[in-house]
């Protein structure tokens, strides 16, 4: 099993941290192999960025994402740039307050930034989206991602990040169960 995952957005959204947390969860707590590469635009904040994760249950021979099986787009520019690179059957996740999908495209949407703002800090939109990813795909167990968050964020932000993960997971479960969005 090899999966290619691209988490994309703009600088300052925590795209790289989301990729690192997911990779750590998969490698340390799920027993998978993973390789993370990152790409940044010319600006530190506001430029395009992506975290590209190759995940496999055996050694990875080619470490670069070419045709994502999962694409997260947290900005319109990211969606416009990376949607054409994703496999036709790819799982597409978008921040639906920031991304207007192309006609005929029906990605899974979550208002990640708005939900993060409701938690008090928009900087955790990346972790809301990570929870949504885990809930929609089942790629990792919640406990694995929680442990990876504990190992990756500052202690003073731990509770906020764990709440953000829970919000994303709850949103995914509501959609999967066919209920209305929280």
Supply the CATH number for residue 17's domain.
3.40.920.10
Nearest to 25 by CA among 148, 161, 128: 148
The predicted structure's pLDDT at residue 13: 87
Which phi and psi (to 5°) does residue 59 adopt?
-55, 145
Tally the domains of the chain: 1
Residue 150: inside a domain, yes or no? yes
pLDDT digits (tens, 9 = 90+) for 8-58: 998 778 899 999 999 999 999 999 999 999 887 655 556 678 999 999 999
* Higher pLDDT, residue 91 or 179: 91
Largest CA distance in the chain: 43
pLDDT digits (tens, 9 = 90+) for 96-128: 999 999 888 888 999 999 999 999 999 999 999
* 136/176 Cα distance (integer angstroms): 7
The strand pairing partners of 71, in sequence order, are 6, 92
Domain assignment of residue 36, given as a range: 2-176
Residue 28: inside a domain, yes or no? yes
Predicted TM-score (pTM) of this structure: 0.91
Residue 73: inside a domain, yes or no? yes
Residue 72: inside a domain, yes or no? yes
Burial of 126 (0-12, 13-18, 19+ CB in 10 A): buried
């Amino acid at each position: 099993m090899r999966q290619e995952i691209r988490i994309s957005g703009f600088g300052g959204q925590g795209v790289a941290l989301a990729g690192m947390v997911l990779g750590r969860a998969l490698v340390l707590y799920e027993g998978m192999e993973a390789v993370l590469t990152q790409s940044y635009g010319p600006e530190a904040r506001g430029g395009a960025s992506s975290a590209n994760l190759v995940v496999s249950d055996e050694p990875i021979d080619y470490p670069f994402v070419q045709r994502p099986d999962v694409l997260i787009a947290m900005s319109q520019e990211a969606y416009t740039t990376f949607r054409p690179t994703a496999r036709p059957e790819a799982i597409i996740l978008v921040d639906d307050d920031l991304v207007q999908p192309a006609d005929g495209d029906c990605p899974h949407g979550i208002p990640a930034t708005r939900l993060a703002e409701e938690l008090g800090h928009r900087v955790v939109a990346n972790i809301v989206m990570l929870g949504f990813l885990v809930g929609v795909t089942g790629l990792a167990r919640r406990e694995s991602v929680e442990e990876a968050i504990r190992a990756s964020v500052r202690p003073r932000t731990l509770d906020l990040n764990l709440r953000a993960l829970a919000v994303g997971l709850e949103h995914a479960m509501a959609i999967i169960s066919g209920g209305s969005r929280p």
